[in-house]
Amino acid sequence: MGSGIFSIGVSALANAQLGLATTAHNITNANTEGYNRQRAIQTTNIPTLTGAGYIGTGAYVSTIERIYNSFLARQVNTAQTAVSTLEVYEASIGQLNNLLADESAGLESALEGFFEGINQVTADPASLVTRQTMVSGANNLVARFQSLSGQLEEQYQYVNNQIQSFVGSINSYAQQIARINQQIINARAANNQPPNDLYDQRDQLLAELNEMVGVQTTSNTNGSVNVFFGNGQQLVVGTSTTALAVVPASGDPTRLAVGISTLGGARELPESLISGGALSGVLQYRSESLDAAASSLGRIAASMALTFNAQHALGQDLQGRIDGDADFTADFFQLGTPHVVANANNPSGTATISASFLPASQSADGTFYTKLTTSDYRLDYDGTDYTLTRLSDNASWSDTSLAVLNAAIEDQGFSLAESGTSLAGSSYLIEPTRYAAQTIAVNPDIAADVRQIAAAAPIFAQTGTDNTGTAVISAGSVAPGYTAPASGTPVTLSYSGGALTGFPSYPVTVTVNGTETTYPATPVTYTNGATYAFDGIRFTLNGTPGDGDTFIIARNSNGVSDNRNALLLAQMQTGRTMAGTATTGTASFSTVYAQMVGDMGNKGAEVQTVLAAQETLLAQARSARDSVSGVNLDEEAVNLIQYQQSYQAAARMLQIASELFDSILQIR
């Protein structure tokens, strides 16, 4: 009996000691990140059979259990990976918004300054001072474009650096998880007991890895786990790891992409496979917001250069030169060509593809506009057909001939050319506007000689001095490709019997209330208020002419104080010069920039709103997990008292057993 009481007391004492140690371990790790509460699991010893039945022999601690709920832990990780994505996105787009919306560093003030310089020229076109002010404003505008573009390029470099940093962290976490997997396998093999603290360490590493990239796990029978990301890409399998790599993107080597290291070299992964975590956040920011900002800024720069040059070319400079004359400078701005990148996986020896901006179009009211979009494009050749895909919405155009394809994509604002012969499987990335803000510049010829600013109109029109009727002719305007009357040889139109004669060439187009009538030969019917067009020259006649009245159209021979083309250039500040359809533009430079800033601001606000919601979900998920797995110090204090009392009771049991044994020894 004494022996039984002794053994039961000893087991009770040992159990109380383990309970106290486990509770102390919980209290010590109450603030340890990733720690899960533990408890000692007691099991009854095998009882002893006696004549009076089975007599209990005490208990033992069968294991130390980790209080862990995989479902709640998975909810926390899912919420955390979403929060990490949005945190990186919010921080990045916040910098972008601060840059674009800054009144001193943004584009709006530079646009206003440039057009203010043009307005000064319209007020005094003969002044070299006002012309120099206009050029200074243009230089400031160009510098602002280039500065903004440079800062966006710094953002691209920041993204590349972030990708390298995150991939390095992911590989480090993968290696640490694989090492702990090995330690867990060894520990379990030693005594088949769960190494709880190792499990906690591994779970914490998985949680931190999950902040870098969204991962999924599966368990193995030996206690190790496998880690996957994307659509099942292996990262850790037991004690082995697959390293991620940072590689230049095959479509654009200036962008870094994520790849998988293989024996044959790194294999690039589609960005769509990187979901969740900080790595996904920085990739999403680049593809959704940074690319859009760079292309939008470039579209404004390209449209500014193309439309302004088109109108400037229709003017006359201070020395009386017009388009077609020697030394006339038609382009006020210089602009690079659209960026084209051959895919790194193209067949060797394939052709070179280049792209060019199309000239600005002109609407019915004479406003020049471009049809450029903010999208990038991909050109593929399968051996038969060329296919151009607009990447923003996957709209596509195909043809066996690049020339025919160019006609089909005219509304995209650029054309393509091929040098050499394309091979099947070739692919090219077309970035029409992304680098335009970097390449825009004031024409150095105009910067060196402001007299070359074409502020005057190349023609003038007037009524004959001997006219008897009331009809008057407008000053006239010209369109691209116009033919100005030769110096000293004006065009003289005569009215007689309700018709005009004397046009130097045909056909002549007459527009009345938006309706056009084409006259292939003389005479041309006169209509009060009609607009007449020939050889790229347009004018309007109003009133009632008399027979024999004449109307003279001549080359401008005294345009020093003429500001008619400068006025048209100034009107481009509010003109519908961008986002063009087949017949007209729909927005001004300032409107498009404001929309760009607004879109980025709205995206930033959207990310902030979603982030706040995800942070709430994360807090709720953590609370649910901690209510099960977290250490409650009040509860642990109660456990300390319980185990202390158990220890004291066990000690008292041993004391009683000792006294009983002494009493037996004293029997004689």
How is 417-456 classified by DSSP, letter by letter? EEES---TTEEEEEESSTTHHHH-EE-HHHHH-GGG---B
Q: Which residue has the tokens 């000689």?
A: 449
Q: What pLDDT does residue 649 have?
A: 87
Q: How far apart are CA 126 and CA 121, in angstroms?
A: 8
In this structure, are 221 and 265 located in the same domain?
yes
On the CB side of 12, CA atoms within 13 Å amount to 21
Strand partners, 390: 377, 395
Within-domain flag for 320: no
Rounded to the nearest 5 percent, the helix, strand and coil shares of the chain are: 45, 20, 35
Q: How far apart are CA 432 and CA 373, in angstroms?
A: 8
Within-domain flag for 543: yes
In this structure, are 410 and 425 located in the same domain?
yes
Q: How far apart are CA 487 and CA 458, in angstroms?
A: 11
Which structural domain, as residue segments, surrounds residue 252? 72-285+589-622
Within-domain flag for 302: no
Q: How far apart are CA 334 and CA 138, in angstroms?
A: 12
In this structure, are 61 and 77 located in the same domain?
no
What average pLDDT values come out for the chain (668 residues) when binned by 10 residues? Answer: 72 88 91 91 87 85 90 93 95 91 86 96 96 97 96 95 96 97 94 92 95 94 93 92 94 92 87 92 95 96 97 96 94 97 89 95 92 96 95 96 95 95 92 96 97 96 95 94 92 96 95 93 94 96 96 92 96 94 91 93 94 95 92 89 86 81 74
Q: How far apart are CA 379 and CA 414, in angstroms?
A: 13
Q: What pLDDT does residue 14 have?
A: 87
In this structure, are 354 and 248 located in the same domain?
no
**Dihedral angle, C-alpha 81, 83, 88, 90, nearest 10 °:** 150
- Of 539, 555, 571, the residue that ends a domain is 555
Within-domain flag for 390: yes
In this structure, are 537 and 646 located in the same domain?
no
Q: What pLDDT does residue 328 have?
A: 96
Within-domain flag for 39: yes
In this structure, are 130 and 203 located in the same domain?
yes
Q: How far apart are CA 88 and CA 162, in angstroms?
A: 10
Q: Which residue has the tokens 């007037």?
A: 462
Contact 200, 26 (CB under 8 A): no
Q: How far apart are CA 369 and CA 356, in angstroms?
A: 16
Within-domain flag for 572: no
**Total number of domains constituting the chain:** 4
Q: How far apart are CA 79 and CA 96, in angstroms?
A: 26
In this structure, are 493 and 526 located in the same domain?
yes
- In terms of Cβ atoms closer than 10 Å to its own Cβ (0-12, 13-18, 19+), residue 146 is middle
Cα–Cα distances in angstroms (integers) from residue 232 to residues 229, 235, 274, 280, 334, in the given order: 6, 9, 11, 16, 50
- Of 503, 534, 555, the residue that ends a domain is 555
Q: What pLDDT does residue 559 have?
A: 84
In this structure, are 384 and 491 located in the same domain?
no
- Of 395, 419, 434, the residue that ends a domain is 434
In this structure, are 161 and 191 located in the same domain?
yes
In this structure, are 403 and 550 located in the same domain?
no
In this structure, are 388 and 508 located in the same domain?
no
Q: What pLDDT does residue 667 have?
A: 77
> Using N-to-C axis directions, what is the helix angle for 277-284 and 70-101, rounded to 10°?
30
- pTM tops 0.75: yes
Q: What pLDDT does residue 2 have?
A: 47
Closest CA to 304 of 595, 585, 100, 573: 573
Q: What pLDDT does residue 668 have?
A: 61
Within-domain flag for 322: no
In this structure, are 89 and 62 located in the same domain?
no
